[in-house]
Amino acid sequence: MSDNDSLFEAPPMEDQERMVEAVLFATAEPITVRELEQRLPHGCDPAEALVHLRARYEGRGVRIVRIGDAWAMRTAPDLGWLMQKETIETRKLSRAAIETLAIIAYHQPITRAEIEEIRGVSVSRGTVDQLLEMEWIRFGRRKMTPGRPVTFVVTQDFLDHFGLETARDLPGVQELRAAGLLESRPALGILDASSAKDDAPEDDAAEDEAPGQTELFED
């Protein structure tokens, strides 16, 4: 018996699609193909089932979407307004947090020194810690340079929140300005800055911008 033979025949693809559909519907967090393989009967091909399932849901009220290396069932973008609930917005992300998050997203993996090089000001520890607590960024691999500084990358939660499949789907400068994130001032080199020096010193001092820039949130 060859390695590809099995004592049990895999279920028909139609049944495999139904199984994958049931798992996606019941799972709150995005799930990887490997995790699906562990749940489905032996011999199933969840990757192929996802292709068929994704096509079948095209144009429906919910869609099968890829988020990083995982998959999930999400509301169709044009129907998102049905799920909105109006609340009083009391706090918002500070400009420092938005800029730091954007720089990480566009330049990942990136060190704190490189972030400061692009922004032109120091990055407070509080801003980075809060972004970590929100699970929108995480620690990446250490850079193979003197001091082995840690790097930062965006998370799957970040991609999921903004409806992105990968970080390559991030908007360009003009779209960011249209959304009011960069306004009319220079783009801080978010998209076209040259690489920072690997041995640039890290500065934990509070940012000396306008009040409120040292924290993630501002009133």
pLDDT for residue 50 is more than 90: yes
178-219 pLDDT, tens per residue? 655 555 444 445 555 433 333 333 443 334 333 333 333 343
64-84 pLDDT, tens per residue? 999 989 999 998 888 888 887
Which of 118-122, 171-175, 202-206 is the least confident region?
Answer: 202-206
In this prediction, residue 210 carries a pLDDT of 34
pLDDT for residue 122 is more than 80: yes
In this prediction, residue 207 carries a pLDDT of 41
In this prediction, residue 187 carries a pLDDT of 45
What domains lie within the chain, and their CATH numbers? 13-83 (1.10.10.10), 92-218 (1.10.10.10)
For the entire predicted model, the pTM comes to 0.49
Q: What is the chain written as a DSSP string? A: --TT--SSPPPPHHHHHHHHHHHHHH-SS-EEHHHHHHHSPTT--HHHHHHHHHHHTTTSSEEEEEETTEEEEEE-GGGGGGG--------EE-HHHHHHHHHHHHH-SB-HHHHHHHHSS---HHHHHHHHHTTSEEE-PPPSSTT----EEE-HHHHHHTT-SSGGG---HHHHHHTTSSTTS--TTTTTPPPPPTTPPP--SPP-SSTTTTSSEE-
